[in-house]
Amino acid sequence: MHSDISSTDYPYSINTSDHYVIHGLLNAPQNTQITDLHSKIVILPVLQDTGLHTHLAHSQRKFFNQNGYDVLRISFSSLNQNGRCFQDVTLGHMASDMRQICADLRQSYDNIFIAAHGLSSFAVALSNADCDGQSLIEPCFVPYENFVESGYTYRRDLNMYQSLMNPMECLSTRLVESCKLFDHASCRAMIQSMDKPSQFIWAENGLGENMSALYKAYLNTHAQSVTITGADHNFNAANSIEKAMEQSLEWFNYCNHMYIISALTAAPDAYKLPTYTVN
């Protein structure tokens, strides 16, 4: 692995089925050009385009580039005139966008992986998009009352739901209304329909205590569950981001290995990997 890396941000865009434009930034590993033929890419979806430049997104981009992956940071909403406004985004939009992005990238990449955090992982799971493996980090999507009602408060003056953990983080009323559709039964049905190799990364001090049981009970696909000791939901604790990224990389490399094997032999029977903790 390279000790350091510099990478140029290449603009990425794709038209949606409802006539908006999704915007993002594409980065290739050091000493390669984005026009070169690459075999694997990691998608990092975020709710707003400001999320493309957070410490978490930049850390993930640098880390996966260092390890030979192209990286696409993509936003479900944008301040660009042709982008979808944050206030108008729903889970349905996000899921549809993920399917469209993966279909577009499949024309250029053999292996597509997704690393999503928080509510973005809701959309990834709901989309069941064409990827070869996904790492869902603190996936806040089962069920609605366990996440939004406990973690947010409605601000009438803003007409938004404000995070109790981070006052700078808000959700639009339309997005929350779409979350409300996912009660326990709806989340169970969604989990049962997931068929992509899925890793779940939990923070020891995060929001997963009431959520992981549903996955364990109803998930039918290849899966792994990892808990990062000392981490909070946003992975602000020292070294917690690095530990989560290392787990995602290990999972993607494993999925890539299985992809190579499956191209040579019959596909293995479904299985579930063990649950474990990273200190």
Q: pLDDT tens digits for 84-127? A: 999 999 999 999 999 999 999 999 999 999 999 988 998 999 99
> What is the chain's mean pLDDT, rounded?
85
Q: Residue 271: its pLDDT value, please?
A: 44
Return the closest-CA partner of residue 171 out of 156, 157, 154. 154
Has this prediction a pTM greater than 0.95?
no
Q: What is the pLDDT of residues 187-242, one digit of tens each?
A: 888 888 999 999 999 999 887 766 777 777 888 888 899 999 999 888 988 899 99
* 227: β partners: 202, 277
Residue 26 reports pLDDT greater than 60 = yes
Q: Would you state the torsion angle of the CA atoms of residues 167, 156, 152, 77, taken in this order, to the nearest 10 degrees?
A: -70
Pairing of strands 111-117, 70-75: unpaired
Q: What DSSP element (H or E) covers 80?
A: none
The more confident residue out of 148 and 163 is 163
What are the structure tokens assigned to 39, written together?
A: 């075999």
pLDDT, tens digit, 9 for 90 and up, residues 46-90 = 999 989 999 889 999 999 999 999 999 999 999 988 999 999 999
